[in-house]
Amino acid sequence: MRFKPGKIALSIAAPVFAAVFSLAVSSASLLATNKSPREAFSLMWEFGSGAGSLMEAVNLATSYYIAAIAIALTFRAGLFNIGVEGQLRLGSLFAAYFGAMIVLPPVLHILAIFLIAMFVGGLWASIAAYMKVKRGVSEVISTIMLNSVAGGVSAYLLSKHFMVKVEGSNDLATKPLPASGQFPDLMPVLKKLGVEEQPGGGVYGMLLVAIVLGIAFWFVVNRTRFGFELRSSGMNPIAARVSGVNSKKMTFIALVASGAIAGLAGLPTLLGDTHSYTLGFRGGVGFTAIAIALLGRNSAVGMAISALLFGFLEVASRTLELIDIAPETYVIMQGSILLSAVIAYEVVRRYQLTLQSHALAKAGDK
Amino acid sequence: MLEKGKLSGMRRTIIIFFGIIAILSIIRVATGASDLTSVGTAQAALLLSVPIVLAALGGLFAERAGVVNIGLEGMMIMGAWAGGFMGSKHGPWVGLLAAIFFGAVGALVHAIATITFGVDHVVSGVAINIIAAGLVRYISTILAQGGSWPGPSQSPDVEPIGQNGLPILSGGKYFGWQSPDILNSIGEKNWFLISDISRVLRGLTGELSYVTMIAVALVPISYYILWKTSFGLRLRSTGESPIAAESLGVNVYAMKYWGVLLSGGFAGLGGGFLAIVAANHYQENQIGGRGYIGLAAMLFGNWRPGGLLAGSALFGFADALQLRDSAAIHALLLLIVAFLLFAAWRSFKKGQRIATIVALALAGFFAWFFVAFEELPGQLVTMTPYLATLIVLSLASQRLRGPAAAGLPYRRGGLK
């Protein structure tokens, strides 16, 4: 108990180091192009902390967070699902297509769309799961390949089968969801709390789903027998097998469940904003979510903070165009945060181990 | 003993090579998809195999030193970008050197993270891929804003690199002497099989870019370095058992650094090749997962140079067909069905019921596909190389054994 203040300081040390390092790298890259980092950062802060920008950042973070949970679930089982991108793409496409076809009362309709998206995402992930368990194919490679295949399949299905003509637009899109299939906005609730309405703004109702998912993730992984078996088959498959855990079964379940959650990750945009799947459906969520899961150390709270941070950086950097800085600056920031964070976490972990062994040695001397 | 084994391996390779051409010629005659064995397809297949070979060699050096390098993709991106950037300014050869250098810079980051700091190899590699893609987009946007690049996703053009063919057989040009082109004239005769073979050989030996020659030569060179030199023995020993290697006086950290840096150099060259030789400028998304496919080719080749060459050739061929002629891909579906039926029969004999059913179902699916579509839709044709990777890996991967300590963090003195 005596070490507690030090422990807290240590656990904060890594993220703080990562933030400082990332600021240094992005400042350096701005200076290298003859721009003033101070001006850039203050502009980003000014724009990003406005209510409208914050709402948009939260909306972006909602998708990121759900996708990050999907990835973290496999990390906890000692696996790596890089296929979230493909799973969420196919999940969204099928959810949009069948969601617009079925007729159901409001709440049931949304639930049905959830089920479709989860089923398709899980089914797609089950290909990689089957190949891993039965044929020993690394899920890292197979899910990456399946991402490319999903890209081709979804483009084909959309343009040849699922598309409807949109008046006055060249974009291919599925039929829009009826009102009963659209997730209501949180704006009415927020207004009661004294938040003013923003032009073009609003907060996706799916935020609530993301929060529930986060809590469920924490509970299932840390507080249930299933979660214990999942983690133990990830940490030490041989020990897990000896103690009666079927690690192949856990591998299969973890990948399929991850795919099912990934299927949901496209829905905040679909149900809250676009209401139809288009050719230009927001891409890259699955990859950004990898960074978020790593940065948040696969913990429900950590990933929420990282998702919000990434959303904030993405929205705030849009203003940089005003002073002739490439808005892609945020990618540099996100990347350097990620790399320095994973290194810092590792250094801190080693330092903690050293501290522990010193403490043990001292206790042994007495 | 070893020599004998190698010889029969060589003979087997030749038999398999000609066997595949024979099967392709039969399919060509049966379906009329003449591009299956044309000179152009063989040329394109070689051109598209080279970046994958280079990526796979990169993966080989890293994994033989015990470091898994998922970051190959990012290092190829850096290489391609550098190739376009420096190549358009100072000529193609400088561009290629810059590509190697930038690939190695990406690898240095990976090496510091994984070897010095002990970060999980896959995590670090994925981080590098994300960062590399973002970094080149950032710099390209700035270059486009400054007006020196035509757009944020494309570099100015790079001058082409010279090419030549084999003398006598494939019509090369030497010191002003134009040699005859025997293979081509046989190829045009349209004798069954003989012409097919000479067309493929003509495609593989004629009008080669000098970089292609270097890249192909790197395969035996890598074999020599890894298996015939003391450096190679040390490098491989750190991938199999770093503790044993350390106890024999090998500097494990240094060997791992060498392996990863060479790996990045190969990957960078592969990226530079795509930008400078396969295209004539850098373009965003040019790599398109070839780093991962290279890794898959290395797995398929059982962590051996010869094997990864075969794997890369397979993916290069699939890629060439999808780019040139979707009718040929359509014909190839028959081959996939045959493969799957064979797999089903094998697992049936072993009594694996589920595997049999899965293989049969897939065979049925592809057969239906062959019948249902006269011509494959473009969106589906583009995914051929990725599907080929999946199918090949799931057919091959259970007999594969990589270096024992690949992917494990190593600390001197056994500290965690």
Q: Per-residue pLDDT tens, chain A, 366 aa: give them.
A: 455 566 677 777 888 888 888 888 888 888 887 788 888 888 889 888 888 888 999 999 999 999 999 999 999 999 999 999 999 999 999 999 999 999 899 889 999 999 999 999 999 999 999 999 988 888 988 998 899 899 989 989 998 888 887 666 667 888 888 888 888 888 778 777 777 777 666 888 899 999 999 999 999 999 999 999 999 988 888 888 888 888 889 999 999 999 999 999 999 999 988 888 987 787 789 988 998 998 888 999 999 999 999 999 999 988 888 887 877 788 888 888 888 888 888 888 888 888 888 888 888 776
B397 in contact with A, Cβ within 8 Å: yes
At residue A61, the pLDDT reads 95
CA distance A230 to A222: 10
Return the domain boundaries, chain B.
38-165+207-324+397-414, 167-200
Asked whether A232 and A98 are in contact (CB, 8 A), the reply is: no
Task: Return the residue in A346, A355, A356 with the most chain B beta carbons within 10 A, the one to mutate for interface testing.
Answer: A346
- HEC string for chain A: CCCHHHHHHHHHHHHHHHHHHHHHHHHHHHHHCCCCHHHHHHHHHHHHCCHHHHHHHHHHHHHHHHHHHHHHHHHHCCCCCCCHHHHHHHHHHHHHHHHHHCCCCHHHHHHHHHHHHHHHHHHHHHHHHHHHHHHCCCHHHHHHHHHHHHHHHHHHHHHHHHCECCCCCCCCECCCCCHHHCCCCCHHHHHHCCCCCCCCCCCCCHHHHHHHHHHHHHHHHHHCHHHHHHHHHHHCHHHHHHCCCCHHHHHHHHHHHHHHHHHHCCHHHHHHHHCCCECCCCCCHHHHHHHHHHHCCCCHHHHHHHHHHHHHHHHHHHHHHHHCCCCCHHHHHHHHHHHHHHHHHHHHHHHHHHHHHHHHHHHHHC
Q: Do the Cβ atoms of B122 and A80 come within 8 Å?
A: yes
- Domain B38-165+207-324+397-414 fold is ABC transporter involved in vitamin B12 uptake, BtuC (1.10.3470)
* Touching A: B residues 110-129, CB under 8 Å: 112-113, 117-120, 122-124, 126-128
pLDDT at B51: 95
Nearest Cβ partner of A294 from B123, B134, B395? B123
Q: Is B296–A155 a contact, with Cβ atoms under 8 angstroms apart?
A: no
Going by C-beta distance under 8 Å and a sequence separation of 6 or more, which residues neighbour residue B60? B222, B226, B263, B298, B303, B305, B308
Across the interface, do B113 and A152 touch by the CB < 8 Å criterion? Answer: no
pTM of the model: 0.88
Q: Give the span between the Cα atoms of A276 and A163, in whole angstroms.
A: 10
Residues of A within 8 A of B395 (CB-CB) are 135
Residues of chain B with Cβ-Cβ distance to A160 below 8 Å are 377
Give the closest-approach CA distance of A333 to chain B in angstroms.
Answer: 9
Phi, psi (degrees; rounded to nearest 5) at B407: 90, -10
Per the structure block, which two tokens stand in for A57? Answer: 């950042």
Task: For strands B208-209 and B177-178, give the pairing.
Answer: unpaired
Residue of A nearest to B125 (CA): A339
> Are B270 and B290 in contact, with CB atoms under 8 Å apart?
yes
Cβ contact, residue pair A144, B131, below 8 Å: no
Which residues of chain B make contact with A138, given a CB cutoff of 8 A? 299, 397
Q: What interhelical angle do B121-146 and A329-365 show, nearest 10?
A: 150
Collapsing DSSP states into helix, strand and coil, what is residue B61?
Answer: helix
Taking CB atoms and an 8 Å limit, are A350 and B355 in contact across chains?
A: no
Residue type, A80: F
Are B137 and A346 inside 8 Å of each other by CB?
no
Q: What is the pLDDT of residue A171?
A: 73
How many C-beta atoms lie closer than 10 Å to residue B338's C-beta? 14
- Residue B70 touches partner A, C-beta closer than 8 Å: yes
- Give the integer Cα–Cα distance in Å for B299 and A145: 14
Cβ-Cβ contacts under 8 Å, A137 against chain B: 390, 393-394, 397
Question: How distant is the Cα of B182 from the closest Cα of chain A, in angstroms?
Answer: 41
Q: Which residue in A has a C-alpha nearest to residue B400's C-alpha?
A: A136
How many interchain CB pairs under 8 A, A with B? 130
Provide the pLDDT for residue B414.
Answer: 59
Predicted local distance difference test score (pLDDT) of residue B179: 72
Question: Mapping DSSP to helix (H, G, I), strand (E, B) and coil, where does residue B373 land?
Answer: coil
Among the partner-chain residues A149, A332, A335, the one whose CB lies closest to the CB of B386 is A149
Crossing angle of helices A37-48 and A4-32, in 10° steps, is 120
Q: Do A342 and B416 touch (CB under 8 A)?
A: no
With CA atoms as reference, the chain B residue closest to A347 would be B117
pLDDT of the residue at B202: 80
Q: Any CB–CB contact under 8 A between B387 and chain A?
A: yes
Point out the residue among B134, B292, B398 whose CB comes nearest to the CB of A136.
B398
Among B124, B135, B394, most A C-beta atoms within 10 A, so best to mutate, is: B394
Chain B: closest CA distance from residue A156 (Å) = 5
A168: left (phi over 0), alpha (psi -120 to 50) or beta: left
Name A180's Cβ contacts closer than 8 Å, sequence gap at least 6: A103, A104, A105, A106, A109, A110
The shortest CB-CB distance from A342 to any of B124, B141, B416 is to B124
CB contact under 8 A, B135 and A80: no
Q: According to the model, what pLDDT value does residue A63 have? A: 95
For the CA atoms of B122, B123, B129, B135, the dihedral, rounded to the nearest 10 degrees, stands at: -150
CB proximity B391 to A under 8 Å: no
Q: State the Cα–Cα distance between residues A231 and A250, nearest whole angstrom.
A: 9
Tens of pLDDT along chain B (416 residues) come to 344 444 566 777 788 788 888 888 887 877 777 777 788 888 888 999 999 999 999 999 999 999 999 999 999 999 999 999 999 999 999 999 999 999 999 999 999 999 999 888 988 998 899 889 888 988 888 888 888 888 888 899 988 887 777 776 777 777 777 777 777 777 777 777 778 888 888 888 877 888 999 999 999 999 999 999 999 999 999 999 999 999 999 999 999 999 999 999 999 999 999 999 988 899 988 898 899 889 988 988 889 998 899 889 888 888 888 877 767 777 778 778 888 888 888 888 888 888 788 888 888 988 888 888 777 777 788 888 888 888 888 877 667 788 888 888 888 875 55
How close, in Å, is residue A343 to chain B by CA atoms? 6
Helix (H, G, I), strand (E, B) or coil at B360: helix
Cα separation, A236 vs A230, in Å, equals: 10
Task: Please tell me which of the candidates B131, B354, B383 has its beta carbon nearest to residue A152.
Answer: B383
